[in-house]
Amino acid sequence: MAALGTETITVDLASGSVRALNAELHDPSAKLYEVRNPAGAHAVAAGIDRGITVDVRGHVGYYAAGMNDGGIVTIHGNAGTGVAENMMSGTVRVTGDVSQSAGATAHGGLLVIGGSASMRCGISMKGVDIVVGGSVGPMSAFMAQAGRMVVCGDAGDGLGDSIYEARLYVRGTVGALGADCVEKEVRDEHRSELAELLAAAGLEHDVAQFRRYGSARRLYHFHSEQAGAY
């Protein structure tokens, strides 16, 4: 594999296509990219599988930075549905707000949302770390299997519904908890990992202000006498 150039390549979506941009990012000739005028386009910087850095200057639509595997993507604006969906590794940062299903099914890496997230943030997360500077909407971390979510604001109703082994930390108020999600003790190891996540996201909060939530492990087994409740 040829060495990547050290210059920054600028791609202007006002005159170019997302398809051409993503083709370049899938077989990059440089380490650094700047994307201008995304204008809400969908699937911007999707499918990156190299350790390149991409700065997107503006708002994006659906599935931005989806399937990211090793890239460092920063969206300087807001993002639509499914940002960082199915991410495997790397870092995705959004300076503004995001729509629903941020980080859906993501297996690894770090997703940082500077603003707030709509409903179902972290749905079916499978190992990703998600740090939200603001609040999250209803049904966030629904069926979250593994990974960690930090919410520096409030969380809507249904947090952690049908959660497995993901760990959730919330600084603000929490609505009605989802099925099988309960508040749990915050021990020293949790304070340590919370401090590390906040530092990685570039946020400064007192870890003592956060509460932890996780699975009560009551839904792991089927009970025939309770079949009507399923």
pLDDT tens for each residue of 46-75: 999 999 999 999 999 999 999 999 999 999
Residue 224 buriedness (CB in 10 A; 0-12 / 13-18 / 19+): exposed
* Arithmetic mean of pLDDT, 106-113: 98
Q: Is the pTM here over 0.85, yes or no? A: yes
Q: Looking at the domain assignment, is residue 229 inside a domain?
A: no
**Structure tokens of 102?**
């941020």
Give the separation between CA 17 and CA 78, rounded to whole angstroms. Answer: 20
Q: Looking at the domain assignment, is residue 38 inside a domain?
A: yes
Confidence class of residue 6 from pLDDT cuts 50, 70 and 90?
Answer: confident
Give the separation between CA 101 and CA 142, rounded to whole angstroms. Answer: 10
Q: Are residues 155 and 196 in the same domain?
A: yes
Q: Looking at the domain assignment, is residue 223 inside a domain?
A: no
Taking Cα atoms as reference points, which of 148, 78, 143, 141 lies closest to residue 111?
Answer: 148
Q: Looking at the domain assignment, is residue 134 inside a domain?
A: yes
Q: In what order do the strands lie in the sheet with 211-215?
A: 5-12, 30-36, 53-57, 69-75, 89-94, 110-113, 126-132, 146-151, 167-170, 211-215, 181-184
Q: Are residues 148 and 61 in the same domain?
A: no
Beta strands in the chain (DSSP E): 5-12, 30-36, 53-57, 69-75, 89-94, 110-113, 126-132, 146-151, 167-170, 181-184, 211-215
Residue for token digits 């594999």?
1
**CB-CB contact of 129 with 137 (8 Å):** no
- Greater confidence (226 vs 202) lies with 202
Q: Looking at the domain assignment, is residue 203 inside a domain?
A: yes
**Structure tokens of 182?**
């309960």
Boundary (domain end) residue, out of 70, 99, 128 = 99
Query: Taking 90 as the threshold, does the pLDDT of residue 1 lie above it?
Result: no
Q: Are residues 91 and 119 in the same domain?
A: no
Q: Are residues 149 and 77 in the same domain?
A: no
* Arithmetic mean of pLDDT, 19-45: 98
* Arithmetic mean of pLDDT, 145-161: 98
Query: Taking 90 as the threshold, does the pLDDT of residue 112 lie above it?
Result: yes
Range of the domain at 59: 1-99
**CB-CB contact of 110 with 129 (8 Å):** yes
The confidence score (pLDDT) of residue 56 equals 98
- Count structural domains, the chain: 2
